[in-house]
């Protein structure tokens, strides 16, 4: 990553403000905790040092609700029906006329929605034959992962555990590359982590942002594409995970250790440290599942 690249991140807060990142080059000094009420602070930066930064505020009020287009709505309803098992894997969808009537759309609108689902791999359309639901668990792709991560019916403890295992496999690799290729930028980022508010929300946001930035700093965009596929889910799962004070303490120690590794440019130490904390994450998550199960049984 060149010295003039821009890294930017924001996340809405419950109060309607944002935690904003203001960063040109490797300056992460205001990555978190700049909270604004009822507006988004956006910093526009140039690609080179000759371009001046410009900040603007976008009010979130009033919030205009744009009606969904019939095709978008039909696609969303069909996808939900596939994911909740109404149309199981391998089953045939109802005839077009029947399906269009049930969805309250025209047949051309339905066909467009079906073409989108076929393009993304959810269904198989064969001329003159029934349209079949694909086995997306076996034949799926990154587009599907993003859709799956936004469906409450799919977000079981097992699914989140599977995602954590994937992150455990990938994180040491992109962390190593980040240390080797952009240690100064990583140092600037991690220096903002030394005094995180001791809340699940702060840690969930900080952790998912760290992994996102690590994939960017690795210089390999494939890591970023994969992580972005489940980035939102990473934050949501983090709210539960970081409800455990021990999990927050474990991650704070990891951030401090990783900062030292970056300062020493010790990629191998960073890899070992990341493997260890990923294993700890899985352990904390499994204990969280067990604890919730016992609580449910007792109630």
Looking at domain 70-139, its CATH class is: mainly alpha
The domain ranges of the chain are 1-65, 70-139, 141-299
> Which residues does 24 contact at the CB level (< 8 Å), separation at least 6?
4, 6, 43, 45, 53
243: pLDDT strictly greater than 50: yes
Classify the phi-psi angles of 244: left when phi > 0, otherwise alpha if psi is within -120 to 50, otherwise beta: beta
10 Å Cβ neighbour count for 144?
19
Alpha carbon of 163 to those of 19, 154, 241: distances in Å?
26, 12, 14
Which tens digits make up the pLDDT trace of 84-107?
A: 889 999 999 999 999 999 999 999
- On whether the CB atoms of residues 47 and 6 are closer than 8 A, the answer is yes
Instruction: Please indicate whether residue 292 or residue 193 has the higher confidence score (pLDDT).
Output: 193
Q: Which long-range contacts does 65-71 make (Cβ < 8 Å, 24+ apart)?
A: 70/105, 70/106, 70/109, 71/105, 71/109, 71/112, 71/113, 71/116
- On whether the CB atoms of residues 96 and 111 are closer than 8 A, the answer is yes
Would you state the pLDDT for residue 197? Answer: 95
**64 confidence band (pLDDT: 50, 70, 90):** low
Looking at domain 141-299, its CATH class is: mainly alpha
Q: Would you tell me the crossing angle of helices 96-103 and 70-83 to the nearest 10 degrees?
A: 110
| Residue with the two structure tokens 């006329």 | 97
Q: How far apart are CA 74 and CA 211, in angstroms?
A: 35
12: pLDDT strictly greater than 80: no
Whether the pTM exceeds 0.75: the reply is no
Would you state the pLDDT for residue 202? Answer: 95
**26 confidence band (pLDDT: 50, 70, 90):** very low
């Amino acid at each position: 990553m060149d010295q003039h690249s821009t890294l930017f991140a924001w996340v809405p807060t419950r109060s309607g403000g944002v935690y904003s990142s203001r960063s040109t080059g490797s300056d992460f000094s205001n990555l978190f905790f700049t909270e604004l009420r009822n507006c988004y602070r956006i910093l526009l930066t140039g690609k080179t040092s000759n371009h001046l930064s410009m900040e603007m505020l976008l009010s979130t009020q009033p919030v205009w609700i744009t009606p969904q287009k019939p095709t978008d709505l039909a696609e969303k309803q069909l996808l939900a029906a596939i994911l909740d098992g109404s149309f199981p894997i391998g089953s045939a969808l109802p005839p077009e006329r029947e399906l269009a009537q049930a969805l309250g759309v025209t047949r051309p609108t339905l066909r467009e929605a079906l073409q989108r689902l076929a393009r993304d791999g959810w269904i198989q359309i064969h001329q003159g034959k029934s349209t079949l639901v694909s086995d997306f668990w076996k034949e799926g792709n990154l587009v599907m992962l993003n859709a799956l991560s936004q469906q409450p019916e799919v977000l079981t403890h097992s699914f989140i555990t599977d995602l954590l295992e994937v992150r455990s496999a990938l994180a040491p690799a992109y962390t190593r590359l980040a240390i080797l290729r952009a240690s100064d930028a990583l140092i600037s980022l991690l220096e903002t982590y030394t005094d995180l508010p001791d809340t699940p929300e702060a840690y969930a946001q900080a952790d998912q942002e760290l992994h996102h930035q690590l994939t960017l700093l690795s210089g390999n965009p494939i890591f970023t594409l994969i992580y972005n596929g489940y980035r939102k889910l990473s934050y949501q799962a983090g709210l539960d995970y970081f409800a455990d004070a021990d999990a927050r303490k474990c991650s704070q120690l990891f951030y401090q250790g990783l900062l030292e590794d970056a300062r020493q440019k010790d990629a191998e130490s960073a890899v070992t440290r990341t493997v260890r904390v990923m294993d700890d994450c899985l352990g904390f998550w499994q204990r969280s599942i067990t604890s919730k199960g016992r609580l449910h049984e007792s109630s």
